[in-house]
Amino acid sequence: MERKRVFITGVGVISGIGNDVRGVSESLRDLKHGFSAYPPFLDDPLAPVTLVSAPKEFQVDSNDFEDWVYPEQYRVRREVLRGFAPHGLYVYCAMKQAIEDAGLEEEDVSNVETGIYTASSGSTRLVYHNMSRMHEVGPMRCSPTGIVSAISGTLSFNLVAGFRIQGNSCGFSSACASSGHALGFAYDDIAMGRQKRMFIAAGEDVNYESVVPFTGMRALSLETDPVRASCPFDAKRNGFVCAGGGAVLVLESEEEAMRRGSTPYVELLGWGQSSDGHNVAISHPEGLGLIRAIDKACESTGVDAGEIDYINAHATSTLIGDASEGKALDVVFNSKGYSPKISSTKAITGHGLSLASALEASIISIAMKEGFTPGSAHIQNLDSQFEAFNIIRKTELVAPQVALSNSSGFGGANVSLLFKRV
Amino acid sequence: MSDQTTMKREVAGAPVAESEESLRDTLKRCPAETLEAALAYRKSGDVSLVPVIVLGIVERFLDPDVGDKLHSGGDSIEFMTDLGMDSLTMIEAIMMVEESLGVSIKNEELLNLRSVGDLKSFIHEKLTGIACEEPKTFYSVDQIAAIMPQQSPFLFLSQATVTELGANGSYLITGQEEFLEGHFKGNPVFPASLMLEALGQLAVFKLIKNPPREVQSTIDSSEIYFTGVDSVRCHRICKPGDTLEMKIQVKRVREPLAIFSGQITVNGEKSVVAEEITLAFKSEGAASLLEGSTNGLNGGTHSTNGAH
C-alpha cells in the first residue's frame, strides 16, 4: 500500500520562551531563554534547585483550580477546567491556538477521521495533594475529578472530551521520548490511511513535585545563572533545567491539507525508534540505540543521512546524555563526512520531558516555515568531544531543507523524526 | 427518615468543616449571605437557614447565565435539565453542603435529588429527622422499560418518581409516533385515549415498583390490566413537542383491583383529569386473570380502554 504524505498544518505553544508561535519565534531568533527562579524553591532550604522554565502569564500552582490565573483570551468553562492538571490548562490553550492556526472548523476537529495522541507524565503534584487529602479527610470528601485530573492519561481524557474528538486516541508514556512516540504513531496512522488528521498534544507541569525529584537523581543543574544552567555541549554543563508548558501540532494527510487549502509548515517525512536495552535512566554510552533510531528514520523515509542539513539534538545539558548523543551523531554523520548544522534548543527552552519532542517539532516547523535555523545558546567553552561537529552558536537566517529531531527517554527509548521544508 | 436514632448515627459520621475558618474557606466562592447563613446555622442550628445555604452553594457551581434561573425558578428547577449541571458537579455541590451543614448523603440518596426542592427538603429532613415530603425514588426510561409489560412503541412513560401514595411521570410527544400520521391527517394530535393509557401505565409502574400497603401478596407484573376509567375530562389538545406531566394517586385497593386518580398537565396547564382509573392485578401464584370467567373484571360499566 502506498503511504500517504503527512504535513504539519497547525502549531500551538505555551512555553517558557513564548505563549504563541510569534513569541517562540522571537525567542529562537534572539536565543532568549525562558528561565526564572521559582519562588517555592527559594523559600525551601531543602530544594537545591533554583531555575525552571515556566510559561509566563500563568499562575497554576494552587491545588484549587478556581484560583488559577491565565491569559484572558482563553475562557475555560468551570466544568472543563476542573478536570485539568496544571499542564492540562497549558495544553488546552495550545490546542486552541493550533486549531485556529490550522484554520480548522468545529467539524474538522470533531469527526471519526480526526484523532489525538497525547504525552504527559500526569501530575505528581495533584496525585500527592489528592492522596494527602484522602488520608486526612477520607475519600468521600475528595474532588470527584481528582483522578482524571492527576493520573497520566489526563491529557487524553480531557482533550478528547473537551474537543469532542471521535477518532483514534491514546496517551504515550516513554518519559522524554513520549511526544516523539506520539508524533511517530500519529504519522503512521495518517500515512496508512487510518486517520486523516491527528492532533499531537504534549505537556508537563512545572512545580515543586514535578521538578525537585529530579535533583535526587542528580539530573538537574543547580546553577542560579540561567546561562550557566542550561548549556548543552558546553564543557561545564552539569544538568538540565526543567520546563513545563504545552505544545500541540496538527498533522494532516496531503489530500486533507489540500482540500482545505491550508499552507503547511513542513512535511513530516517519517520516523524511527529503538531501545537501548541498557540502563533504567542512563542512555547507552556509545549512543547505540539512538544510532539505530536515526538509521530507521532514514531507511523508512528513503532519506540519505547526507541530505539532512539540520539536527535539533536531544542534548539536555547533562554530561552523560550529551556525550552519548555525540557518539551517535559521530557514527551516523561525521564518519561519513557529513556535517549538518546542529543545535540544542533546550539551551533556551529547558527540558520539557514528555513535552520535549513536540515542542522541538514545533520549533522546527516554525523555523522551516519562517526561514531560520535556531542556534545553540549558552556555549562558552565547547566540550572538546563536540569540536568536530557543526554546532551553530547563533540563529542563522536560512531554513533547513531536511531536519532531524532526536529524543531519548528513560530506559533508553529513542525516537528520531525527519522533517522536510515545503 | 423519622427514626431519630438512625439519623443521629448518620450525622455522627458526617463531615463537618471543623472551624469557622475552614467553613469560610469552603464557602469562599458562594454569595455572602450563604456564608452568613452557614455561620449563623452553626450557632443556632436554625433549619430555616438551610434554603439560603443550599441555594448559594448550588449557585456557586453554575455558569453565570443560569444563575437567574435558579432564583426565579422555585423548587421545581432541576439541576441537570434546567441548570446544566452534570453528575460530577452535583457531587461537588453535595460535598460542599455536607461540609457546611454536617450532613452525610449517600450515593443512592444522591440519585433521587433532582430538583432544588428535592435537595432542600432532603437536607431539612436530614437535619431535623422530620420529613417535609414523603421519600421518593426516581426511575429513568431504561429502568422503566426493564420491568414494564408495555414496551416500545407502546410505552408512554419516559421517567417516573414513585412515592408511597402515588407516582409522577412524564412523556415527551416526539412527533415520531406512527399513529400521529393518521390522528389526524395533517394535524398530529396525541389521542386522548392514549393519554389515559399513559396514566394507566404510570399506575402499573407504581403497582410493580411500590405496591400500596393494602396489597398483601406479591403482584405478578406480567398480568396487570386496565379495566376502567371514570369521569374523564380533556381540557387541552396535546401535540408533538409537548411533555405530558402525569400524576397518579392511589385511592383505594380491593384485590384484585387498585383504583387511582390521575391527571396530566402540559406546561402547568391541565390537559386530562380522570377521577378513577382501575387496574386489575394478579397475585403471584393465583390463577391467571385470563382463565375462566372475566366477569370479575367487567362487573361494572368499565370499558377496557387501552388494555394490553
What are residue A305's phi and psi, to 5 degrees?
A: -55, -30
Task: Say if the Cβ atoms of A78 and B15 lie within 8 Å.
Answer: no
Sequence length of chain B is 308
B138 touches chain A (CB under 8 A): no
The catalytic residues of B are 183
Determine the CATH number of domain A6-421.
3.40.47.10
* Angle, CA B110 vertex, CA B107 and CA B115 arms, to 5°: 170
B80 close to A (CB below 8 A): no
Res. A194: pLDDT tops 60: yes
Task: Tally A–B CB contacts below 8 A.
Answer: 23
Give me the phi and psi of A164, to 5 degrees please: 55, 45
Is the Cβ pair A137, B15 closer than 8 Å?
Answer: yes
Identify the pLDDT of residue A244.
98
Q: Are A291 and A273 in contact (CB under 8 A)?
A: no
The residue of A140, A142, A147 whose CB has the most chain B CBs within 10 angstroms, and thus the best one to mutate to test that interface, is A140
Does position A1 have pLDDT exceeding 80, yes or no? no
* Secondary structure of chain A in HEC code, one letter for each residue: CCCCCEEEEEEEEEECCECCHHHHHHHHHHCCCCEEECHHHHCCCCCCCCEEECCCCCECCCCCHHHCECCCCCCCCHHHHCCCCHHHHHHHHHHHHHHHHHCCCHHHHCCCCEEEEEECCCCHHHHHHHHHHHHHHCHHHCCCCHHHHHCCCHHHHHHHHHCCCCCCEEEECCHHHHHHHHHHHHHHHHHCCCCCEEEEEEEECCCHHHHCHHHHCCCECCCCCHHHHCCCCECCCCCECEECEEEEEEEEEHHHHHHCCCCCCEEEEEEEEEECCCCCCCCCCCCHHHHHHHHHHHHHHCCCHHHCCEEECCCCCCHHHHHHHHHHHHHHCHHHCCCCEEECCHHHHCECHHHHHHHHHHHHHHHHHHCCECCCCCCCCECHHHCCCEECCCCECCCCCEEEEEEEEHHHEEEEEEEEEC
pLDDT of residue B116: 86
Residue B76: which pLDDT band, with cuts at 50, 70 and 90? confident
Residue B147 confidence (pLDDT) above 60:
yes
Q: Is the confidence at residue B287, as pLDDT, over 90?
A: no
- Give me the pLDDT at residue A382, please: 98
Q: What are the pLDDT digits (tens) for A379-418?
A: 999 999 999 999 999 999 999 999 999 999 999 999 999 9
Cell numbers given for A304:
540519505
Where are the domains positioned within chain A?
6-421
The single-letter DSSP state of residue B115 is B
Determine contact: A75 vs chain B, CB below 8 A.
no
Q: In Å, how far from its chain's centre is CA B216? A: 24
Alpha carbon of B40 to those of B44, B50, B128: distances in Å? 6, 10, 17
Rounded to a whole number of angstroms, the distance from the CA of A12 to the nearest CA of chain B is: 28
Q: Does the pLDDT at position A221 exceed 80?
A: yes
Domains and CATH numbers, chain B: 4-128 (no CATH), 138-283 (3.10.129.10)
Please check whether residue B66 touches A, CB under 8 A.
no
Q: What is the mean pLDDT of residues A152-167?
A: 97
Range B266-293 burial, b when 16+ CB lie within 10 A, else e: beeeebbbbebbbbbbbeeeeeebeeee
**How sure is the predictor about B124, in pLDDT bands with cuts at 50, 70 and 90?**
confident
Residue B306 has pLDDT above 80, yes or no: no
Using CA atoms, how far apart are residues A18 and A326, in angstroms rounded to an integer?
29
Query: Which ipTM did the prediction report?
Result: 0.83
Q: Identify the CA nearest to A146 among candidates A128, A119, A168, A169.
A: A128
Closest CB to A145 among B29, B88, B98: B88
Of A299, A302, A289, nearest in space to A406 by CA? A289
Distance from CA of B95 to the nearest CA of A (A): 6
Interface test with B, best of A77, A79, A80 (most B CBs within 10 A): A79
Q: Which among A419, A375, A418, A406 has a CA at the least distance from the CA of A287?
A: A406
Lowest mean pLDDT among B91-95, B174-178, B296-300: B296-300
Per CB-CB distance under 8 Å, the chain A contacts of B91 are 144
- pLDDT tens digits, B18-44: 688 889 999 999 999 999 999 999 888
Note whether A82 contacts B92, CB cutoff 8 Å. Answer: yes
Band of pLDDT at residue B107, cut at 50, 70 and 90: confident
Question: For residue B185, is pLDDT > 80?
Answer: yes
Residue B286 has pLDDT above 90, yes or no: no
Mean pLDDT of A249-269: 97
DSSP symbol at B149: S
Instruction: Report whether pLDDT(B294) > 70.
Output: no
CA distance B173 to chain A (A): 29
Q: How far apart are alpha carbons B86 and B100 in whole angstroms?
A: 21
CA–CA separation, A125 and A135 (whole Å):
16
Q: Do A141 and B88 touch (CB under 8 A)?
A: no
B297 confidence band (pLDDT: 50, 70, 90) = very low
The CA distances from residue A287 to A161, A323, B21, in Å, are 40, 8, 58
Q: What is the mean pLDDT of residues A75-99?
A: 96
Across the interface, of B15, B63, B89, the residue whose CB is closest to A141 is B15
By CB atoms closer than 10 A (0-12, 13-18, 19+), residue A111 is: middle
Taken as a whole, chain A contains a residue count of 422
Q: How far is CA B10 from CA A138, A298, B7, B98, B132, in A?
A: 16, 68, 5, 12, 19
Give the pLDDT score at A9: 98
pLDDT in tens, A321-336: 999 999 999 999 999 9
How close does chain B come to A143, measured CA to CA in Å? 7
